[in-house]
Amino acid sequence: MSSVSEGPDTGIPPAEVPDLPPPHAHGFWSRWVFSQDAKYIALQYSGTAIAIGLVALVLSWLIRMQLGFPGVFDFISAEAYYQFITMHGMIMVVYLLTAIFLGGFGNYLIPLMVGARDMVFPFVNMLSFWMYFAAVVVLAASFFAPGGPTGAGWTLYPPQAILSGTPGGTQWGIVLMLVSLILFIIGFTMGGLNYAVTVLQARTRGMTLMRMPLTIWGIFTATVMALLAFPALFVAAVMMLFDRLLGTSFFMPALVEMGEQLSYGGGSPIVFQHLFWFFGHPEVYIVALPAFGIVSDLIAVHARKNIFGYRMMVWAIVIIGALSFIVWAHHMYVSGMHPYFGFFFATTTLIIAVPTALKVYNWVLTLWRGDIHLTLPMLFALGFIVTFLNGGLTGLFLGNVVVDVPLSDTMFVVAHFHMVMGVAPIMVIFGAIYHWFPLISGRMLSHRMGLVHFWVTFIGAYAIFFPMHYVGLVGVPRRYPDITASFVPDSVATLNAFITVAALTVGAAQMLFLFNLFWSLCFGRRSGLNPWRAASLEWQTPEIPPRHGNWGKELPVVYRWAYDYSVPGAARDYIAQDDPGPRASWSHVP
Amino acid sequence: MIVAASLVLIVLFSVGFHLLSPWWWTPIASNWGYIDTTLVVTFWITGAVFVAVVLFMAWCVFRYRHKPGRVAHYEPESRRLEIWLTGLTALGVAAMLAPGLVVWKQFITVPDEATEIEVVAQQWFWSYRLPGVDGRLGSSGVEWIDFENPLGINPHDRFGADDVVIDAGDLHLPLGQPVKVNLRSIDVLHDFYVPEFRAKMDMVPGMVTYFWFTPTRTGEFEVLCAELCGTGHGIMRGYVLIDEEAEYEAWLGEQFTFAGLPASQGIQVAKTAGGSDP
């Protein structure tokens, strides 16, 4: 500690708490199963998320096979089709994207990027993963339950979600779905509190909030949002479970099903929709904000330039996070809620476009006059900008209440949200894996396989979802296993077949990616300590991959922000965050 | 080079697809041309932004790709540029939002001369109810639903007796007459969706929702359900026929009222039923 110059000149405060070692594993179980090392938990989270994500990928193939070639595949009945779309949507949104960004990248990167030895609550962190694992097991079990999984749509709208006209409605499907969500939320709450407290309390000396990489800002803000949003889903799930099992009527009005009066009465289906979307809309940003943060760092590192307008980027993340709690009913313009809500929610929704657009500008302006290395992470970042821009702009159609009226519940919506919160964040996940794989394994992923993976995924995904908007514009509704209708020209069937071929191709390319992961883990080129010459803290560990406790004997001390790239007069084109060298001339550099 | 060229190609493909592809909305059959106009305005504004940003990105990738000796420019932020960009974006957003809200106001304000009709949804077909000669729909509720009374019309409400009931048939409407479509479901969520009318709204059990429109051309238009309602969602279809006045009257005369009489005799029923006022 004596080597660190403390005091107001350097901005380095004295240590407030002693540097304690994180708990060490003592045997097989505590090392490889119930591990309390955030890095290992991150890999457990990511592995589980990718495994269940593969199920969702296969489901998407089945969905597309039905839509592209209706009637050809006899085993896809209407029931099966609805089960496929429901499970595909729920798995992708909650069990893959949320889990991998927060549980996966959050666990791996937060301690390393803020200069901590581990999460502040390692035991709770371990419990968090195993709750998540249990949630995934329950979810997967519903495929084998009597009646199969629920086919209520991922939005699970009552009354149909718990009635006999819907697959799994009066059998096991919906019950297992709700139980799984409840487990997931319990697990997430444990993890989420841990991530938030770690960011707030365990940053190393000198790591002020305004020196944190945007990755951490994104993950941190998303975590806080998730802690506020998931409880709405939690109570909705519990109440629906009561309606289904105990005969309460939270969401169930008096109704007649197939000519028979049911004993429900007095509840409101719209209340469920409000609860669901109060969670559901922030959820979009819970996935998007970590992606925003990570892609900012990928662009800065691989364009050898500081992220343009860092302070604006931080505030944009925070403002988007806050605003996203008052836009939820734009999913409900045609739900039958009071029509005056339309004015309010259309206005808030379009306002949120401004900070979001600024983020896009700043990513592009970071490229401007940069030194752009077209590495795989950079390629995926470019792919992200294109798909996110496209999906964000179509959001302006759907957010503008009256334009939403003809488009809502059509394939336009499906195309929009797949582009903006499917393809775009997944581009970032891939970019991030290519970027941080050396940190995790000490080896580089194969560049050649990566190039094939990138081009097929990027061009293919664009070819799937861009034309799909026009299927919706024609008027084709979503959630139809067969879209034949009097107003739909035959050419739409041809377009649908094309989209299916593109979807199967993109899916196949992901197998190459998985192969690359395993191949490079064994045979990849050794990366050395800091292969991308990155300035942020996670690359400054004494070993790669970092050992348990991350930092060797002494915690690092941070002297600058994470973006000192190509600083005029510096010896190299980056200055690491823990480098005590001279500060840059720009007065606002944090 | 390949990357920059691909980005340019994506722009060309997207714009070309938009302008040349045969897939566009169905010809409109209602008064909601304003919705189409707002949508087109949105296409132009967002399209311009998409083209500008992706082309700029392509140029950056082409111009500033790594070569030995290149050093990135050092400029952490530019307040002036950021303020300009914020202002322009806000302007573009306002240009889309303002007309949108004006049209929304029209969309939710039903004109006084509109005729009230009712669409009733259940798994998985459509039924309709038209007001009889008294011009009013009788009240309804699920507690009155039985085999004889599939729509649950209140038998004690004198306004209901002359209502014309079309159980699981096609709906006819007269050309040029504004209609307020009251929407009711007796089991789960549904959504009355006719693409050519542009308007749609969910139907929620336990409440009555609505939208209004004026049919602007005659023809036969397919009705679909646009809110997932169970296994039969995809086959929940029907037809709305927009007729000239004379044809419409002829069709109406063949229908039956709730009281079981031909609709043409409804007026007597209305006078003699004499139930309680709801």
- pLDDT digits over A383-430, tens only? 999 999 999 999 999 999 999 999 999 999 999 999 999 999 999 999
A352 CB burial (10 A radius; 0-12, 13-18, 19+): buried
Are B89 and A259 in contact (CB < 8 Å)?
no
**Interface mutation vs chain B, best among A256, A532, A566, most B CBs within 10 Å:** A256
pLDDT(B265) > 70: no
**Interface mutation vs chain A, best among B11, B79, B107, B187, most A CBs within 10 Å:** B187
**Averaged over B183-191, what is the pLDDT?**
96
Residues of A in contact with B39 (CB under 8 A): 397, 403, 406-407
ipTM: 0.93
Among A257, A270, A470, the residue with its CB nearest the CB of B21 is A470
CA neighbor of A81 nearest in space, from B11, B81, B231: B231
Are B74 and A82 in contact (CB < 8 Å)?
no
Confidence tier at A14 by pLDDT (50, 70, 90):
confident
**pLDDT score at B269:** 45
**DSSP secondary structure of A414-451:** HHHHHIIIIIHHHHHHHHHHHHHHHHHHSBPPPHHHHH
Q: In terms of CA atoms, which chain B residue is nearest residue A303?
A: B72
**Averaged over A235-259, what is the pLDDT?**
95
Cis peptide bond prior to A159, omega within 30° of 0: yes
Confidence tier at B275 by pLDDT (50, 70, 90):
very low
**pLDDT score at A138:** 98
Are A396 and B232 in contact (CB < 8 Å)?
no
Confidence tier at B270 by pLDDT (50, 70, 90):
very low
Among B3, B82, B232, the residue with its CB nearest the CB of A309 is B82
Confidence tier at A3 by pLDDT (50, 70, 90):
low
Are A270 and B203 in contact (CB < 8 Å)?
no
SS3 A266: coil
Are B207 and A368 in contact (CB < 8 Å)?
no
pLDDT tens for each residue of B107-140: 999 999 999 999 999 999 999 999 988 889 999 9
**pLDDT score at A249:** 96
pLDDT tens for each residue of A65-104: 999 999 899 999 999 999 999 999 999 999 999 999 999 9
**Interface mutation vs chain A, best among B2, B97, B143, most A CBs within 10 Å:** B97
Pairing between β-strand A256-257 and β-strand B125-130 as defined by DSSP bridges: unpaired
A526 CB burial (10 A radius; 0-12, 13-18, 19+): exposed
Give the containing element (helix H, strand E) for B193: strand B190-193
Q: In terms of CA atoms, which chain A residue is nearest residue B84?
A: A358
> What is the rounded distance in angstroms from the CA atom of residue A61 to the CA atom of residue A388?
23
Confidence tier at A140 by pLDDT (50, 70, 90):
very high
**pLDDT score at B1:** 81
Are B57 and A364 in contact (CB < 8 Å)?
yes
pLDDT(A296) > 60: yes
Confidence tier at B262 by pLDDT (50, 70, 90):
confident
> What is the rounded distance in angstroms from the CA atom of residue A344 to the CA atom of residue A348?
6
What one-character DSSP code corresponds to residue A29? I
**pLDDT score at A25:** 80
Among A357, A362, A459, the residue with its CB nearest the CB of B89 is A357
Phi, psi of A399 (to 5 degrees): -75, -25
**pLDDT score at A23:** 79
pLDDT tens for each residue of A144-196: 999 999 999 999 999 999 999 999 999 999 999 999 999 999 999 999 999 99
| Cβ within 8 Å of residue B122, ≥6 positions away | A256, B185, B186, B187, B190
Are B222 and A459 in contact (CB < 8 Å)?
no
Are B207 and A410 in contact (CB < 8 Å)?
no
**Averaged over A545-573, what is the pLDDT?**
91
Are B96 and A565 in contact (CB < 8 Å)?
no
Among B7, B24, B39, the residue with its CB nearest the CB of A397 is B39
Are B142 and A368 in contact (CB < 8 Å)?
no
pLDDT(A569) > 90: no
Confidence tier at B274 by pLDDT (50, 70, 90):
very low
Q: What is the mean pLDDT of chain A?
A: 94
pLDDT(B20) > 50: yes
**Residues constituting chain B:** 278
CA distances in angstroms from B58 to A367, B65, B147, listed in the order given: 10, 10, 66
Q: In terms of CA atoms, which chain B residue is nearest residue A393?
A: B46
Residues of A in contact with B230 (CB under 8 A): 160, 163, 165-166, 169
**pLDDT score at B107:** 95
**pLDDT score at A21:** 80
Residues of B in contact with A309 (CB under 8 A): 76-78, 82
**pLDDT score at A11:** 67
**Averaged over A515-519, what is the pLDDT?**
97
Are A565 and B39 in contact (CB < 8 Å)?
no
SS3 A224: helix
Task: Work out the percent of chain A whose per-residue pLDDT is above 70.
Answer: 97
**pLDDT score at A9:** 58
pLDDT(B6) > 90: yes
pLDDT(A282) > 90: yes
pLDDT(B272) > 60: no
Q: How many CB pairs under 8 A join A and B?
A: 328
B115-273 is a CATH 3.40.1180.10 domain: no
Phi/psi region, residue A387 (left: phi>0; alpha: psi -120 to 50; beta: rest), is alpha
Task: Report the range of poorest mean pLDDT among A335-344, A374-383, B201-210, B269-278.
Answer: B269-278
pLDDT(B240) > 60: yes
pLDDT(B277) > 50: no
Distance from CA of A184 to the nearest CA of B (A): 25
Q: Which residue has the tokens 């592009």?
A: A364
> What is the rounded distance in angstroms from the CA atom of residue A435 to the CA atom of residue A370?
19
**Averaged over B137-147, what is the pLDDT?**
91
Task: Work out the percent of chain A whose per-residue pLDDT is above 90.
Answer: 89
Neighbours of B123 (CB within 10 A): 23
Residue spans per domain, chain B: 2-108, 115-273
Task: Work out the percent of chain B whose per-residue pLDDT is above 90.
Answer: 82
| Cβ within 8 Å of residue A539, ≥6 positions away | A439, A529, A530, A532, A576
Distance from CA of A482 to the nearest CA of B (A): 7
pLDDT(A1) > 50: no
**Interface mutation vs chain B, best among A295, A366, A405, most B CBs within 10 Å:** A405
